[in-house]
Amino acid sequence: MMISTRGRYALRVMADLANTGGEKFVPLKEIAERQEISLKYLESIVTDLVKAGLLEGRHGKGGGYRLLRAPEDYTVGEVLRTIEGDLAPVACLGKNAAPCERASICPTIKMWTGLYDVVIKYFDGITVRDLTTLPDVPDYVI
């Protein structure tokens, strides 16, 4: 599993909005400048975040984007699944995967399932609020 640039940038947008207090609309141009990300690229990312109900967008004077919930009510896992889709490490564990004919005899399925569980637990254990206080992002201990 590799998180794409879109996924990483989506998290940066969410953290940036969390740092602004979340109440007012923040112009995407300001976020792009602070995060040093192409405005055009961010437009496609925030469009997906709005469609998924994670952000609210407003056009015109005083427009921009803002969080719809408190930063602590968003998990990193939720944001990544919105942008990346399923975070499964192998296709057979994917959300819409067809049942694997070899699952009952597969020598590696438990390993892949374990990895998937660790990834989900880790990402769902970190909130967008946590991303605004970098030293406090939790370490995961197996």
**So where are the chain's domains?**
1-142
Question: Residue 141 pLDDT > 90, yes or no?
Answer: no
| Cα 47 from Cα 7, distance rounded (Å) | 13
For the chain, the maximum distance between any two Cα atoms, rounded to a whole number of angstroms, is: 61
Q: How far apart are CA 33 and CA 54, in angstroms?
A: 21
Helix, strand or coil, per DSSP, at residue 26: strand
- CB 138, CB 131: distance < 8 Å: no
**pLDDT of amino acid 142:** 42
pLDDT for res 134: 64
Residues 11-33, mean pLDDT to the nearest whole number: 91
Can you tell me the distance from the alpha carbon of 17 to that of 127, in angstroms, rounded to the nearest whole number? 13
Calculate ∠ Cα 139-125-84, nearest 5°: 105
Read off the pLDDT of each residue in 27-54 and give the average, rounded to a whole number: 96
CATH number, domain 1-142, options 1.10.10.10, 1.10.10.60, 3.40.50.1240, 3.40.190.10: 1.10.10.10
Residue 140 has pLDDT above 60, yes or no: no
What does DSSP assign to residue 55? E
Q: What is the pLDDT of residues 43-100, one digit of tens each?
A: 999 999 999 999 999 998 889 999 999 999 999 999 999 999 989 898 888 888 888 8
DSSP assignment, residue 138? P
Task: Indicate whether 128 pLDDT > 80.
Answer: yes
The pLDDT confidence band at residue 111, using thresholds 50, 70 and 90, is: very high
- DSSP secondary structure of 70-83: -GGG-BHHHHHHHH
Q: Are 128 and 74 in contact (CB under 8 A)?
A: yes
Tokens of 49: 């975040």
